[in-house]
Amino acid sequence: MRLAKFLASAGVASRRAAEELVRAGRVAVGGVPVTDPAHSVGESDAVTVDGAPARPERERVVYALNKPAGVLSTARDTHGRPTVVSLIDAAVRLYPVGRLDADTTGLILLTNDGQLAHRLTHPSFRVPKTYRALLARPPVREAALRALRAGVALEDGPTAPARVSRVSADTIELTITEGRKRQVRRMCEAVGHPVRQLERVKFGTLSLGALKPGQYRRLSEAAVERLSAAAPAARRGARSSSRAPRR
């Protein structure tokens, strides 16, 4: 097994974050520092991160949390600010699946399964995320909705087309499959409607439901399987669409 994948299965971090740990020289195998994330290891190998043993988790757990405003989407914060991990009382080490801005609320997942986190967040799998946005400068007219649906030119390149519906004169629901930094806020500002409040209400097959801010629930194995199955299906769709003519 690749070292980065081993660390992800051990609940140390997501696969991409595990690769960064290895490259930074913080991981050793049999007491010898290793800087190649592709280094091959087995379950019997003694792997450590910053001197602490890393072992594969035996039980996969996934939590859905309604993140309150002001809480950081990280496992820990050097300044002592509240994090999503600190809100959940769990017996295993957790880390967030992707991120929400500190001032964005709503559905975020936490897990000890690095492979699942990778499938749900890597852009190639095109897992949809739906946000409800309260916008400034109402009413939101059809021209702005059409622009969002077509894709918006941002400083880091055009976005993929989004699914958008108008909830009220100043509120929309927007579904994207990308995960750029502050993407929804930048898209809405680009069409003339800065975001006043933003809440994620759906991630893949999972909806926020009745969870109140700060509340969380552990997902059943069936719910986790449905969530996991959404990623490969989305990836096949991405491959087929890549062969379609550009417009």
Q: Which CATH number do you get for residue 179?
A: 3.30.70.1560
Q: What is the pLDDT of residue 39?
A: 94
Question: Given the DSSP bridges, would you call strands 105-111 and 195-203 parallel, antiparallel or unpaired?
Answer: parallel
Residues 218 and 118 in one domain: yes
The whole-number average pLDDT for the span 169-173 is: 98
230 in any annotated domain: yes
Residue 247 resides in a domain: no
* 216 belongs to a structural domain: yes
Mean pLDDT of 154-163: 96
101 is catalytic: yes
Asked whether residue 102 is assigned to any structural domain, the reply reads yes
Q: What does the alpha-carbon distance between residue 203 and residue 128 come to, in Å, rounded to a whole number? A: 6
| 185 and 150 within one domain | yes
Question: Which listed residue (45, 77, 89, 101) is catalytic?
Answer: 101
Residues 115, 7 share a domain: no
pLDDT of 64-102, one tens digit each?
Answer: 999 999 999 998 888 889 999 999 998 888 989 999 999
**pLDDT at residue 241, rounded to an integer:** 39
Q: Is 122 helix (H, G, I), strand (E, B) or coil?
A: coil
What is the predicted pLDDT for the residue at 240? 38
* pLDDT value, residue 60: 85
pLDDT at 242: 37
93 and 140 fall within a common domain? no
- Please give the pLDDT value at position 246: 37
Q: Are 74 and 101 in a shared domain?
A: yes
Does 79 fall in a domain?
yes
Quick one: which H or E segment has residue 23?
A: helix 15-23
Asked whether residue 214 falls in the same domain as residue 118, the answer is: yes
Do 137 and 20 lie in a common domain? no
Instruction: Give the β-pairing of 47-49 and 32-33.
Output: unpaired
- In a shared domain, residues 108 and 137: no
Q: How confident is the model at residue 44 (pLDDT cuts 50, 70, 90)?
A: confident
We report the CATH number of the domain holding residue 31 as 3.10.290.10
Residue 24 CB contacts under 8 Å (≥ 6 apart), including other chains:
none
Q: Residue 233's pLDDT is what?
A: 52
pLDDT band at 113 (very low <50, low <70, confident <90, very high): confident
Question: What's 87's domain CATH number?
Answer: 3.30.70.580
More confident residue, 5 or 157: 157
Q: What is the pTM of this model?
A: 0.75
Query: Is residue 36 in a domain?
Result: yes
The reply to whether 116 and 224 lie within a common domain is yes
Query: Which domain, by its residues, includes 73?
Result: 62-123+207-241
